[in-house]
Amino acid sequence: MKALLIWFVLMNLDKLLKTAHCTETQDQVLSITPKTQEQVDILKNVSTQYETALWQPVSPHYIKEDTQVHLFVPANSSETVKDQLKRHAITHEVLLANPNELIEMQTRNDSTDPRSSSTFYERYHSLEDIYFWINRTQQDNPDTVKVILIGSSFEKRPLYVLKLSVNNRPNKKAMWIDCGIHAREWISPAFCLWFVQYSLSFYQSNKEITRILDNMDVYILPVLNPDGYHYTWTTNRMWRKNRSTNMSTKCVGVDLNRNFDANWCTEGASDQPCSEIYCGAFPESEPETQAVADFLRSHKDIVQIYFSIHSYSQMLLFPYSCTLEEAENHSELLEMVKEAAQKIQRHYRNNYKYGSGANTIYLAPGGSDDWAYKLGIKYSFTFELQDRGRYGFLLPPSHISKACNEALLAVKTIALKVDEKTQAPTTPA
């Protein structure tokens, strides 16, 4: 019996050592709520001096008393970070003990062909597979889908927009949706794919999407930040910015949602290249930002609704984010997001906060929605999809369907409201 036990231990030694090693050195996501200004300052130092990634808020600049902080802590920093917290009596809880398992789950069973599986849209897909999907979608729907190359990224990857158009009605208006401006927000590109598939599948059978597509064209940019998105699949799942470089610093990337010309680089953005909210050298310094801005400038007379899809925190936001001032049609925009949030609550039993960006979250200048609004697109919105922090950026594939259906309901609600308001009144006979 003793010999058998020794044999078993020897045979499984490698496995046992690996298991022990994993439990000692796992990455984790911590939830920390600083209670005093001193604790706020310590937490700011911890999040900048050690190899960590702030999930919420996005920058140490926004850390404040009695506000929850979600901090991704890699295994090699775990002991040091927890010692610092303990030394200053800052309590924490482990929000995610197994982020690496979730990352594996997100990248598993990746299928390139949308026709090969009914669950294609309930999984995350690499950039290469999204490009394949774009081409296949256009080939399968040549009369409805047009692919437009609007520019290229810093690393020369193409920026493809899909135009959905079901008829050639004169004076037709349009809606714009962009996804994936921040690389690690994978649910965002998943929504753009979901929206296209839903529109093509349910046109003529769902009355809301039929009315929307009958009355307006839709432009969809599935991945605004292809370099960053590719990098999250190959190198660093927590990457946020694009991948541009410049000679003056070793730090890489610009926050593309601080790079538009809307109160550019004022409070809520950073001029430090190493910051997660670095605004870039000048407005539209990045080829991705410039490509989007150029396209919208050339279509500003027809695009009347702008949506930018982000995660996470479950919010429906509208301008302004770059100032605490109210937008000209604030009450109209508020009414729209309120109705959308109420419908999500009624249909999916999930709560979304809503309001203007600066008042609902914090000041964030240089954002795409504010820029689009100032361009003249008066129905401009940013959606923050699921969840509220349970999984954060690592939302499991099993949650894609519900997250996308919630956002879809909000898009349809607002688009129908805008269509209703902007239809030319018919004069009585």
Q: Is 335 a catalytic residue?
A: no
Q: How far is residue 336 from each of residues 240, 356, 421, measured CA to CA in Å?
A: 29, 12, 11
Q: Which residue is catalytic, options 284, 286, 384, 406?
A: 384
Catalytic residues: 384
